[in-house]
Amino acid sequence: MSYTVDFENVSTTGLESSPVAERLAGLRANEARYFKNKYDHVFTVTPAKEAPEALDRVTRILAEERDIVIAAPALEVSSFEAGGFRMDYVFYRSGLAVNVMYGIEPGAKRAVGFRLSEGMEVPEELATKFKFARQKSKLAGEIRGSFFVIKGEY
């Protein structure tokens, strides 16, 4: 069942099994606020097991582009189009959020972003491959993030 993310009244709905559920919920709300403000898009999430195509797309791109396999179980996904991009999000139990921004037009920007919830360690599968910049968020506390540019066609 889909859940509309409320960035004014942050809820851990769907994320309760995460050891950093409150911060992951804040991170999810931070993303929802961004898309509402920038694209007037209402951010909704679905349990990962109910929308395997979004999880499969993200998993495939990570594996083919950088030989990355995320060890933590996926809790929720979101897939939508906004501003000329197809966006896929996966929120993992560990507190990691992965998003794929894939420009629809040929030559448009295409990248994978990683966000780490406050209180989580850098996952082993990412620790040696990326450096993470820090940013403050009223909703999520401190977010650490990194990204890479997608080179292939998906």
Residues of the chain with pLDDT under 50: none
pLDDT at 17: 97
Q: Give the whole-angstrom CA distance, residue 8 versus residue 32.
A: 10
Q: For residue 114, give both structure tokens.
A: 């990683």
The model's pLDDT over 73-86, given as tens digits with 9 standing for 90+, comes to 999 999 999 999 99
pLDDT at 76: 98
pLDDT at 57: 97
Which sign, positive or negative, has the C-alpha torsion 8, 133, 116, 48? positive
HEC per residue, the chain = CCEECCCCCCCCCCCCCCCCHHHHHHHHHHHHHHHHHHHCCCCEEEEHHHCHHHHHHHHHHHHHHHCCCCCCCEEEEEEEEECCEEEEEEEECCCEEEEEEEECCCCCCEEEEEEECCCCCCCHHHHCCCCCEEEEECCCEEEEEEEEECCCCC
pLDDT at 1: 85
Domain definitions of the chain by residue range: 3-149
pLDDT at 145: 97
Backbone angles phi, psi at 139, to 5 degrees: -85, -35
